[in-house]
């Protein structure tokens, strides 16, 4: 659960340590839009960019929630903005969205260092946890951000980094979501990287397709050509890790939706009023499950038109409202 004073202190320390310089849209446009922000993270002396979406009607008098969205391997911020539909939803629901860019070649073939994976970012031990924290700090420095409503979501390799960030810097977040990610992985002959043994309690939504061949929900190696050497932890292992972190002891609520195409497990009443939720999508592969892709399904398919981005936002709102309500509840005197 997030404490505003602790969050403000953490962001101040990040400002002092990271020394971010950035280009920001000035003056702020009244009609909103998406803008590229260039920043230099001084502790690694690298130029790191992110896209920032500002909803129309933004005013400094009203702090807005911030959602940070991490693309998958070989993807980009712009591609993820298009496929996820988060910017369109932000215009309706009034929140800010940041889309950081990973490390790659000429803005492409980009990866994140999730500790155990992937690409050049992991090989060079890029501090992507620090970069994501610096993105949060940079946006909060220039815009009015509701620091009790900062969220992180990632797809695939971005989901892996989301797991890591939630475990290492969870005090900066109100909730997080992972789409088609893995908590950990390893390859023969390489040192094994471990998640922290304990993580701070944090509301988390995990979404995975049961037909994902890139990161199989059952764990192990991918059946795709050239990918079998990397062994992934299973979806259940990720759930077990966060069930322990969140202290969820009650049985989950189970629901099936979308004519059986969606299987939802929700653990309520976890430690510090956190929630844990798992959505398993039937016959879904390794794509962001939003209308950009789901409208391409046959009209009678159970997941036709399904929008996981809406599910993620609703989870964030509900988890934060529950957390803040529990935090402000006055206990009766005895």
Distances (CA, A) of 149 to 63, 223, 317: 10, 39, 8
- Evaluate if residue 48 carries a pLDDT over 70: yes
**Structure-token pair, residue 317:** 């709102």
DSSP class per residue in 247-282: T--SPPEEEEETTTTEEEEEE-S-GGG--EEEEEET
Q: Which residue has the tokens 């972190």?
A: 245
> 0.85 cut: is pTM over it?
yes
Which pLDDT does position 12 carry in this prediction? Answer: 40
- Model confidence at 226, pLDDT cuts 50, 70, 90, reads confident
Which pLDDT does position 216 carry in this prediction? Answer: 98
User: pLDDT for 290-329, tens place per residue?
Assistant: 999 999 999 999 999 999 999 999 999 999 877 776 765 5
- Model confidence at 27, pLDDT cuts 50, 70, 90, reads confident
Q: What percent of the chain has pLDDT over 90?
A: 72
**Cβ-contact 30, 92 below 8 angstroms:** no
Q: Which CATH number does 4-219+230-327 carry?
A: 3.40.50.1820
Contacts of 207 (CB under 8 A, 6+ apart): 177, 178, 179, 180, 278, 279, 281, 289, 308, 311, 312
Burial, 209: exposed, middle or buried (Cβ in 10 Å; 0-12, 13-18, 19+)? buried
User: pLDDT for 105-160, tens place per residue?
Assistant: 877 889 999 999 999 999 999 999 999 999 999 999 999 999 999 999 999 999 99
Contacts of 79 (CB under 8 A, 6+ apart): 71
Distance in angstroms (rounded) separating the CA atoms of residues 254 and 310: 19
Q: What is the DSSP letter of 215?
A: S
């Amino acid at each position: 659960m997030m404490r505003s004073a602790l969050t403000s202190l953490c962001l101040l320390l990040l400002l002092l340590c990271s020394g971010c310089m950035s280009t920001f849209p000035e003056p702020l446009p009244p009609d909103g839009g998406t803008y590229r922000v260039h920043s230099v993270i001084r502790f690694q002396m690298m130029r790191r960019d992110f896209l920032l979406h500002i909803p129309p009607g933004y005013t400094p008098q009203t702090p807005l929630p911030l959602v940070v969205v991490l693309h998958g391997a070989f993807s980009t911020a712009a591609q993820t903005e298009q496929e996820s539909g988060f910017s369109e939803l932000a215009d309706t629901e009034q929140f800010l969205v940041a889309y950081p860019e990973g490390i790659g070649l000429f803005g492409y073939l980009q990866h994140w260092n999730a500790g155990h994976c992937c690409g050049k970012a992991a090989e060079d031990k890029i501090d992507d946890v620090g970069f994501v924290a610096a993105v949060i700090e940079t946006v909060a420095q220039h815009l009015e951000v509701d620091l009790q409503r900062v969220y992180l979501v990632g797809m695939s390799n971005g989901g892996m980094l989301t797991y890591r960030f939630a475990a290492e810097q969870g005090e900066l977040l109100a909730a997080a979501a992972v789409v088609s990610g893995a908590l950990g992985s390893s390859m023969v002959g390489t040192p094994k990287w471990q998640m922290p043994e304990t993580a701070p309690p944090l509301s988390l939504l995990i979404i995975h397709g049961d037909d994902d061949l890139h990161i199989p929900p059952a764990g192990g190696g991918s059946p795709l050509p050239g990918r079998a050497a990397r062994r992934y932890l299973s979806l259940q292992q990720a759930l077990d890790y966060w069930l322990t972190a969140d202290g969820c002891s009650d049985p989950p609520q189970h629901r099936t939706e979308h004519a059986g195409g969606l299987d939802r497990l929700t653990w309520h009443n976890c430690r510090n009023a956190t929630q844990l939720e798992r959505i398993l999508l039937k016959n879904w592969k390794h794509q962001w499950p939003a209308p950009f892709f789901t409208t391409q399904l046959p009209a009678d398919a159970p997941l036709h038109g399904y929008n996981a981005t809406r599910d993620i936002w609703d989870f964030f709102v509900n988890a934060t409202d529950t957390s803040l309500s529990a935090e402000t509840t006055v206990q009766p005197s005895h």
